[in-house]
Amino acid sequence: MKIILVGASGDVGRAAYAELASRHDVVSAGRSSGDIQVDLTSGDSIEAMYRQIGPVDAVISAAGEVEFGRVSDMTTDKFRFGLENKVLTQINLVLFGLETVREGGSFTLTSGILDRDPVRMGTGAAIANGALGGFVTSAAIDLPRNLRLNAVSPGLLDVSADQYGAWFPGHDPVSSKRVGLAYAKCVEGGITGKVVAVD
Amino acid sequence: MKIILVGASGDVGRAAYAELASRHDVVSAGRSSGDIQVDLTSGDSIEAMYRQIGPVDAVISAAGEVEFGRVSDMTTDKFRFGLENKVLTQINLVLFGLETVREGGSFTLTSGILDRDPVRMGTGAAIANGALGGFVTSAAIDLPRNLRLNAVSPGLLDVSADQYGAWFPGHDPVSSKRVGLAYAKCVEGGITGKVVAVD
């Protein structure tokens, strides 16, 4: 398969790449690194990426940013930031890719654990993750050409635990290997409309 | 209890009002109707409402708008509309109300069925509902002064079926009475962080 992987340089993207790159042609994309540069907040940038790469069998996004903070310190704009930079960005990748992904191909987005197993300061992430879950559940029944759509929703990755573990009391980090397998399940398997939790 | 009910004139708002108004002091609010006018897209308007009404025991929102359409006809802006007008609006009501709701009081928001039981054209709603689910799950563990936070997630209401039923094939409309009870469960009961489905 030919696969576009956006956000390839992050911990989650590296887990997906490690699982898939040995048996597929994975084109890595990122804001400032990878085989090709793309800004998911810009439809023009996404269209240019798809035009440059051409038809593919799968698109994976492991890209997204949210603001962290206690609810009492959050503002409308801080919540909006996550909706713009983790939700609408990944939705853009689907909307602009509907013609580029081949018949029966797939989109796999990335949400995260914080809407089902919340932590303090994580509400910006929880909102974004919930929105992405609603998107894949619903849009999957409404896509053309047998396209499939899923999201991987990983817990805190083992490789991220040193940096972020203090915000996740009692969370058991998940192995990057298992996270990579979840992307393989979505790309190589037949499921659609699913949020694949890796807990 | 003294309760603010925003969106009191809609089908869902009327169901909540019918259940609660006989035994509580319910102040109805809406964009253009009700005891008091409020624009949930404006922090200033929400602050003015809270200042005018003063301390309350509960805030209910039954307000929210999304765009409907097939995924292939949707745009980033149409999805953004629902995030702005159903998600960030209701979040605003919580953020600006943290000081006005009394110790142990509650916020009850309104999501909907379309993120768990999707229909074609309903993806804008599914995204908003999922986001609201993430918000209540996470923010509930992070609120000051024992404040509670839940969402009621009703299916298609019986009274709405004539107008919207064609978009919900095979959905069994839910009674407005049961929807009203769900708001009573959130306001008068002790739960927090829950999405109360009425299917």
Nearest to B130 among A80, A91, A130 (CB): A130
Give the position of tokens 């997204």. Answer: A64
CA separation for the pair B54, B91 (Å, rounded): 19
Contact B71 A143 (CB under 8 A): yes
Interface membership of B107 toward A (CB under 8 Å): no
How far is C-alpha A196 from the geometric centre of its chain's CA atoms? 11
At A66 the pLDDT is 98
Residues 80 through 99 of chain B touching chain A, CB cutoff 8 Å: 80, 83, 87-88, 91-92, 94-95, 98
Contact B139 A131 (CB under 8 A): no
Q: Would you say the pTM of this structure is higher than 0.95?
A: yes
pLDDT digits over A51-87, tens only? Answer: 999 999 999 999 999 999 999 999 999 999 999 999 9
Question: How near does any CA of chain A get to the CA of B15, in Å?
Answer: 25
CA atoms within 13 A of residue A155's CA, in its CB half-sphere: 17
Residues 37 through 56 of chain B touching chain A, CB cutoff 8 Å: 43
pLDDT digits over A102-138, tens only? Answer: 999 999 999 999 999 999 999 999 999 999 999 999 9
Contact A134 B131 (CB under 8 A): yes
Average per-residue pLDDT for chain B? 98
Interface membership of A123 toward B (CB under 8 Å): yes
% pLDDT > 70, chain B: 100
Average per-residue pLDDT for chain A? 98
Beta pairing partners, B2: B25
Interface membership of A76 toward B (CB under 8 Å): yes
ipTM for this model = 0.97
Categorize the per-residue pLDDT at A30 as very low, low, confident or very high, splitting at 50, 70 and 90: very high
Q: For residue A175, count CB atoms less than 10 angstroms from its CB and return exposed for 0-12, middle for 13-18, buried for 19 or more.
A: middle
Interface membership of A122 toward B (CB under 8 Å): yes
pLDDT digits over B133-185, tens only? Answer: 999 999 999 999 999 999 999 999 999 999 999 999 999 999 999 999 999 99
Nearest to A130 among B119, B121, B134 (CB): B134
Domains of chain B: 2-198 (3.40.50.720)
CA separation for the pair A5, B95 (Å, rounded): 37
Edge-to-edge order in the sheet of strand A56-61: A36-37, A25-30, A2-6, A56-61, A101-110, A148-154, A195-198
Interface membership of A73 toward B (CB under 8 Å): no
Contact B75 A98 (CB under 8 A): no
pLDDT digits over B80-102, tens only? Answer: 999 999 999 999 999 999 999 99
Q: Each residue of B89-112: b (16+ CB within 10 Å) or e?
A: bbbbbbbbbeebbeeebbbbbbbb
N residues, chain A: 199
Disruptive mutation site among B93, B142, B146 for chain A (greatest number of A CBs within 10 Å):
B142
Q: What is the DSSP string of chain A?
A: -EEEEETTTSHHHHHHHHHHTTTSEEEEEESSSSSEE--TT-HHHHHHHHHHH--EEEEEE---------GGG--HHHHHHHIIIIIIHHHHHHHTTTTTEEEEEEEEEE--GGGTS--TT-HHHHHHHHHHHHHHHHHGGG-STT-EEEEEEE--BGGGHHHHGGGSTT--PBPHHHHHHHHHHHHHS---S-EEEE-
pLDDT, average across residues B43-70 = 98
